[in-house]
Amino acid sequence: MSGWVKRRFWKDVAVCPCTGGFTVMLDGRGLRTPARAELVVPTRAVAEMLAKEWRSQGEVPDPETMPATRAANVAIDKLRGQQDAVTSLLAEYGDSDLVCYRAAAPEELVAREAAAWDPLLDWAAHRYGARPLTRVGVIHAPQPAPLLAELRVDIERLSSFEVAAFHELVALSGSLIIALALLDRFATPEALWNASRVDEDWQIEQWGTDPEAEALTAGRRAAFLQAARFYFALRG
């Protein structure tokens, strides 16, 4: 089977071992990616995530309810062969990381940022041998090149499947440090998502929100937590 189907045609969904890992069988037929590659994932845990998504589909399958399948497709169809370019894109976040840019005022927001982000910088200092530099305001100031090189090394170690999840973690949080800390299990995914939301939550407290913004935030939170589950399922 290839691409996204328009109608559900299958009854049985099964996880099966295969060459290179595991695949999902629909009525005995192995899943394929939109580019018609065999959809083979590294661990049974990830295959079970995919199978759960396919079992849950109604008469008209909805790709928006199948994030693990989308991530696997991206890993196979998009990342293989161009992972270096994606690695460079992700590494760039380290030079302008969310947790390094601090508010000048009010004092309560300054304190909240410090409470949420300073422990992450301490973790980075311990892991990478240098503490990322902080600055007040939003004007860019570069991080030390040796630190950025160390951050990149950890990204380069990731497999294409791990990068598919990691890209989501970085893009949704706006922070390479937060995403790397999650991979290191520095804190729970929920706690790290909350750390990425310090400024936004402050603004909501001051000015309120609306249903559309709340729905967008809820969707981004769900996607962040899903990416974390996908990554850890790859680790066995």
Give the tens place of pLDDT for each residue, 164-196: 999 999 999 999 999 999 999 999 999 999 999
80: confidence class by pLDDT, cuts 50, 70, 90:
confident
- Which residue ranges does the chain devote to CATH 3.30.2180.10? 13-65
Average pLDDT of the chain, as a whole number: 95
Sign, Cα dihedral of 174, 41, 84, 123: positive
Q: For the structural domain made of 83-234, what CATH number should be given?
A: 1.10.3580.10
Q: Which residues contact 85 (CB under 8 A, 6 or more apart)?
A: none
With a pLDDT cut of 90, the percent of the chain lying above it is 94
Task: Give the strand pairing for 21-26 and 13-18.
Answer: antiparallel
Structure tokens at 229: 């589950």
pLDDT of 82-104, one tens digit each? Answer: 999 999 999 999 999 999 999 99
Task: Tell me: pLDDT of 65 over 70.
Answer: yes
Give the architecture (CATH level 2) of 13-65.
Answer: 2-Layer Sandwich (3.30)
- Predicted pLDDT of residue 236: 73
Structure tokens at 137: 């305001």
- Predicted pLDDT of residue 98: 97
- Which residue ranges does the chain devote to CATH 1.10.3580.10? 83-234
* Euclidean distance between CA atoms 199 and 221, whole angstroms: 15
3: confidence class by pLDDT, cuts 50, 70, 90:
low
Task: Tell me: pLDDT of 6 over 70.
Answer: yes
